[in-house]
């Protein structure tokens, strides 16, 4: 496994730039970095992110928020040690509604973020995705698998944006000697996901809390694996601080069918919801589970939070968001 040409030691008070820093995962990364002594600059255009996710850091002298589209030139008049590129729509609802913006942030946005890292001599991490494997023909998916993607299908805008971003990241590593890292993120859940996000966990939980029918696509036999956000962020932090330039899968290898997961949500919420079935969307992956051998070996990482524990930490957040929405409608 290759090492970066300009890996640098962690300074006493490093500066991190987090694109997409007001998003679900970006904001949790901001919190972790601040807790570990970093000064953090979060950049987000708030298309899918929210200031609510970072409002608790207001007044923190080591935190700064910049409202900006990362596809535009990023100028910072200060040293930067780490660039964490998390900016992108990430749910099917978002990238199907914003296909061009999704492609632009994966291409132009990655180019600008890499340019910042090159200019500052900073280490760079790309938040890639398991979606680069498409509807996989190999199970579970190792990093060596090249994927099975439909470039012109409705999901292609997201899949290909991330595949291009990986290629550009490796080109900067080879051509300019930038210390780059690539994490392939598998399904992740937890507080700060939007209720109307469109991904499985917020959809199922919000439907269950409202005692509405839980919508399962296809016959429910397709599988996913779910990683609690704190496990994921810890793995990503370890990757950035490592010397690993090849992509690394970070996710929970515990696999469930969608029907099993829907029934677990009903149990955990005490819901009266029943399961209803709808046609499977085009190119929806039938199986998704990470091979985390590389993360275990080189990062000494594996998930610690069980699905049941993670759901017990997540469901109250959605209860609060749904209650707040009801109050705002009445006022």
* Residues marked as catalytic: 158
The crossing angle, in degrees rounded to 10, of helices 307-330 and 200-209 is 60
Q: Are 84 and 16 in contact (CB under 8 A)?
A: yes
Structure-token pair, residue 158: 């997201």
Residue 137: Cβ within 10 Å count: 12
The crossing angle, in degrees rounded to 10, of helices 200-209 and 258-269 is 40
How far is it, in rounded angstroms, from Cα 206 to Cα 304?
25
N- to C-terminal Cα distance for the chain?
Answer: 58
Beta bridge partners of 141: 290
How far is it, in rounded angstroms, from Cα 176 to Cα 170?
10
DSSP assignment of 34-71: HHTT-EEEEEE--SS--GGGTGGGTT-TTEEEEE--TT
Which H helix or E strand runs over 205? Answer: helix 200-209
Beta bridge partners of 66: 43
Q: Are 225 and 289 in contact (CB under 8 A)?
A: yes
């Amino acid at each position: 496994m290759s090492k970066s040409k300009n890996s640098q030691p962690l300074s006493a008070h490093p500066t991190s730039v987090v694109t997409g820093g007001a998003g679900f995962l970006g904001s949790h990364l901001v919190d972790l970095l601040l807790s570990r002594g970093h000064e953090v600059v979060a950049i987000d255009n708030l298309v899918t992110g929210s200031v609510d996710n970072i409002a608790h850091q207001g007044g923190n002298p080591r935190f700064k928020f910049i409202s900006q589209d990362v596809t535009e030139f990023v100028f910072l008049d200060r040293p930067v040690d780490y660039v964490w590129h998390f900016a992108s729509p990430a749910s099917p609802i978002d990238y199907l509604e914003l296909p061009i913006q999704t492609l632009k942030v994966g291409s132009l946005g990655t180019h600008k973020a890499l340019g910042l890292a090159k200019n500052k001599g900073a280490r760079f991490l790309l938040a890639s995705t398991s979606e680069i494997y498409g509807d996989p023909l190999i199970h579970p998916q190792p990093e060596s698998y090249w994927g099975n993607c439909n470039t012109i299908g409705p999901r292609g805008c997201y899949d290909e944006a991330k595949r291009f971003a990986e290629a550009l990241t490796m080109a900067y590593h080879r051509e300019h000697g930038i210390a780059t890292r690539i994490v392939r993120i598998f399904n992740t859940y937890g507080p700060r996901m939007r209720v109307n996000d469109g991904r499985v966990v917020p959809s199922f939980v919000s439907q269950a809390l409202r005692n509405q029918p839980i919508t399962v696509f296809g016959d429910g036999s397709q599988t996913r694996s779910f990683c609690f956000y704190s496990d994921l962020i810890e793995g990503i932090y370890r990757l950035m601080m490592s010397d690993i330039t090849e992509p690394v899968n970070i996710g929970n290898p515990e696999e469930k069918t969608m029907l099993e997961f829907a029934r677990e949500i009903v149990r955990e919420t005490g819901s009266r919801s029943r399961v209803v079935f709808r046609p499977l969307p085009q190119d929806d992956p039938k199986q998704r589970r990470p091979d985390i051998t590389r993360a275990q070996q080189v990062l000494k990482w594996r998930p610690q939070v069980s699905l049941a524990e993670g759901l017990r930490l997540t469901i109250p957040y959605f209860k609060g968001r749904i209650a707040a929405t009801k109050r705002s409608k009445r006022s």
